[in-house]
Structures are given as structure tokens and as C-alpha cells.
Chains A and B, each alone.
Chain A
């Protein structure tokens, strides 16, 4: 009993001391807080080192999204490369949890330290691919999914990916 009362008094004392501590918050927007590169803000789609869209429309971000705010549709170019025909994020639902980035096998979808995306009209919170796609590689420079995948695309035929042997000549009878 006494211990409990004492503990209350100690917490009163400790809290009181915080009167003299420096505030953790800053005077935003006059003073901008530091946000680490891995801060989870506005979502972008990045490009690979060759400047092509990294997104291969695998749908893993959409399925990982706990609020189901990502919708996309796969399309394929004439050389077999997959890309999203549309890619839509409804930021009015997004909770910036970063699960999509975790799920992305191509480093395409990335969260950025930008969080200033308020709108007066909720409809403007719906971002399409043209709003999401940036021209750079984002946080993971140098990675290109198709360079390690087995699928042939334009300018990368079978056997030309990383760590791949030349295609088999099935007519060979050598043991």
C-alpha cells in the first residue's frame, strides 16, 4: 500500500521534472524535422538502371496491403516483359505501413520521407501510375529484376541473365 502511494508520488515528481526538459517536437512547418531515408511516407514506383519501369505487376504489394488500397493490372509488351497497365494507390486509405515495399520482389515500390500530401478533395488522393512513377532508382540503386530472372525480354535473351548458361541445344546427343 505504502509502496503504491510512494510510486504515485515518485511519478508526480518525475513528471514534474519534465517541465525543464527540452521538447521533442519541433515547430513544423517553420522548422522541418529530420526524416530518415527509410521513413515511411508517400509511395513511389522506381525505375531500373536502364530507365525501365521496375514494376512487373506481380500483385504482391496489392495482396500484402492490409487496407487493400493498391490495385493494378498486368500487361505484357511484345517482347514478354511484364508491366502494370495501370497502377493505382488510394492514399486516402493508405496507412503507410510499408508492407508493399517489404513484399516487392523488384525494389519497385518504395516509401519516401515525403508525408505532405494533404488534399481538400479526397478524390485527389487517388494516385495513378503517372503520379507514382519517378525517374530514378530510389533507395536501391543498381538492381534490375529482369537481369536475374529467367524470362526473356527485349535485349536480354535466354541465357543472358546473371548466372545463366547458354540455352541448351536439345539436338545434341553428347552424353
Chain B
């Protein structure tokens, strides 16, 4: 029975993540449309949701083209890496207290490790394409991810210090007593948010593909389903980062404590998890709609000169508070 549950959760996660990523393609464009006073894609199926399916069919039906000048093996491997690492990242996400694939005692480190591995995908894609735009995109991506990796990890250390565990289930449980970490670890939350955007290279930090300068950056040469995998990876990382933010800072499956107990008892915990994750995704899309892309040097100085000191300050304060109070 136990094994069947795990089996179901794994496949549920797999299908759910893929499905959500596909629907996000449509959802993001629709939402962007509203924010830009347009209607957005609304022609295929009800509200245009069929666009998600149409997009998938299109990508699958396209010619599987490998440019003759590219490094064939690397070129094919690169897009698969990002999807694999992101999907592995979902292994440690606790949907509820009991619903998860694995509650590792190093869950947080595993998540960080997996997101770090995703950089290979972008870097190899850029290198293997043998294209100057792709190479530039790959280089930018490597520098950006290596830099933001640092504060991403450090920003979570406050949380770990308070909850005393790397297990994500434990972290959520800590929040049930302690209150959501978004309040006590506000600085950590801000830094993690920024680093999350940079890690998933979403707008406004999508410099590796910056179409104004680099055509399409590291995936300039990609088309068909290989390009589709990069897209998928990006949306998966969006969902993963959002669920991590939910889990770590917004109390995961816990309902808001100011609501009456009746409501909290009535509404299943998984709803809270998905509702929070969804809101977080919408916020990411809003960022894309509202904030322009910075220059590359601005991005780097923002990271090293602002986020790193902030993280360190956060750690110091958290440490001090834990020691003396």
C-alpha cells in the first residue's frame, strides 16, 4: 500500500508537472495579455486553453533538426539535462504532511544541488551549438547561475538555523509553531526570490537568452522538441521555485492562521499548497509584465553588491537572535 502511494505520487508529480508546464504556456500569455490590455490567446478551445495542447503537438511534430556544425552529442544531451534535474527537484517537495515522494533529511540541499546541475544544460547547449550567440548566452548563464547559487543557498540558512533541519517537512512543521518564515526571514525571502528568478532565468533576469542582444541566447540553434524541452525546463523550474517559496517561506500546506478553525478544518491542506504556489507563479508572470530587463553588469553588481551583503546581514541577525534570545 505504501509503495502504491509512492508510485502514485511519483507519477502524479510527473504528469502534474508536465501538464502544468504546458498549461502555463497558455496561462502566462493569457495573463500577460490582460496586463497589457489585450485579450491574449483565446481562439483554441474554451478560453484558448487548447493552445497548450496545440503547442505541444506543434513542438512534437516539428523536424528534429540537429545543425550539422554542432557538437551532436552535447547538443542532444543539453536539453534533457534541464528537465531531468528539475524533475528530480520535485522529489523533495512536500505537498502535504504526508504527501511527498521523499522526505530527505538533506531535502533542502538536494533541491539546491539539483537546481545547480541545471546550469550544465544551458552551458552545454550554448557550447554544443557552435554559434556565437549561443556561446555568449551559455557563458552569461554560467556566470549568472554560479553567482546567484551562492546567495540562494545562504539565504536559506536562516530558515535552517531556526528550524534546525534540512528536511522540508520539518521546515514546514516548524512554521506551524513559529509562524511563516516570510515574516521572520523577510530578507532571506527577498534574496531567495531574486535568486530564484535568476536561477530559472525568467524575466527580468533572462539575460542568457536576451533576444534583443543574443537572438535567443543559448537555444538559438534549437528547434522542435529539443527547444520544447528547454521551454519545459524553464516552466518546471518556475513551478519548482514557486513551490519552494511556498514550502520554505509561506508555510507549505498550512492554511493562514488568521482564518477561523472551521475553514482550516474544512479545506484540505493540499489546496493551500497549490493556491500559494499558483499565486507565486502569477507573481513571477507579473514581474515579466512589469519590470524591464537590466543590463548584464547591473545584474551581477546587484547580486554581489546588494544581495550577498543582505544575506550575510540576515545570517548575522538570525544567528545573533538565536544565540541571545
* A residues apposed to B, CB below 8 Å: 8, 11-12, 14-16, 18-19, 21-25, 27
Contact = CB atoms under 8 A, between A and B. Distances in A.
B98 interface: no
What is the predominant secondary structure among interface residues of chain B facing chain A?
Answer: helix
B291 A23 contact: no
A14 B34 CA distance: 13
B38 A15 contact: no
Contact of A27 (B36, B39, B289): B39
B289 A15 contact: yes
Contacts of A15: 35, 286, 289-290
27 contacts: A8-B290, A8-B291, A11-B290, A11-B291, A12-B286, A12-B287, A15-B35, A15-B289, A15-B290, A16-B286, A16-B290, A18-B34, A18-B35, A18-B36, A19-B34, A19-B35, A22-B37, A23-B33, A23-B34, A23-B37, A23-B38, A23-B39, A24-B38, A25-B37, A25-B38, A25-B39, A27-B39
A45 to B, nearest CB: 36
A16 B35 CA distance: 6
Interface of B: 33-39, 286-287, 289-291
B37 A24 contact: yes
Contacts of A11: 290-291
Given A11-B291, A25-B39, 4 more contacts: A15-B35, A16-B290, A18-B34, A19-B34
Nearest to A10: B290
Nearest to A11: B290
A19 B35 CA distance: 5
B39 A12 contact: no
A25 B38 CA distance: 6
Contacts of A14: 290
Contact of A21 (B37, B290, B291): B37
A-B complex: 7 closest residue pairs judged by Cβ atoms: A15-B290, A24-B37, A12-B290, A11-B290, A23-B39, A18-B35, A25-B38
A12 B291 CA distance: 7
A12 B284 CA distance: 11
A70 B42 CA distance: 39
Nearest to B37: A24
A23 B31 CA distance: 12
Contacts of B289: 15
A87 to B, nearest CB: 39
B79 to A, nearest CB: 32
B184 to A, nearest CB: 21
A27 B287 CA distance: 27
Nearest to A25: B38
B248 to A, nearest CB: 22
A8 B36 CA distance: 17
A175 B322 CA distance: 116
A16 to B, nearest CB: 6
Given A8-B291, A11-B291, A12-B291, A18 B286 contact: no
A35 to B, nearest CB: 19
Contacts of B37: 18, 21-25
Contacts of A24: 37-38
Contacts of A22: 37
Contacts of B287: 12
B280 to A, nearest CB: 14
Contacts of B291: 8, 11-12
Contacts of B35: 15-16, 18-19
B161 to A, nearest CB: 26
Nearest to A24: B37
A24 B39 CA distance: 8
Nearest to B290: A15
Contacts of A16: 35, 286, 290
A106 B33 CA distance: 44
Contacts of B33: 23
A22 B38 CA distance: 8
Nearest to A12: B290
B199 to A, nearest CB: 19
A18 B34 CA distance: 7
A11 B289 CA distance: 10
A22 B37 CA distance: 6
Contacts of A23: 33-34, 37-39
A22 B34 CA distance: 9
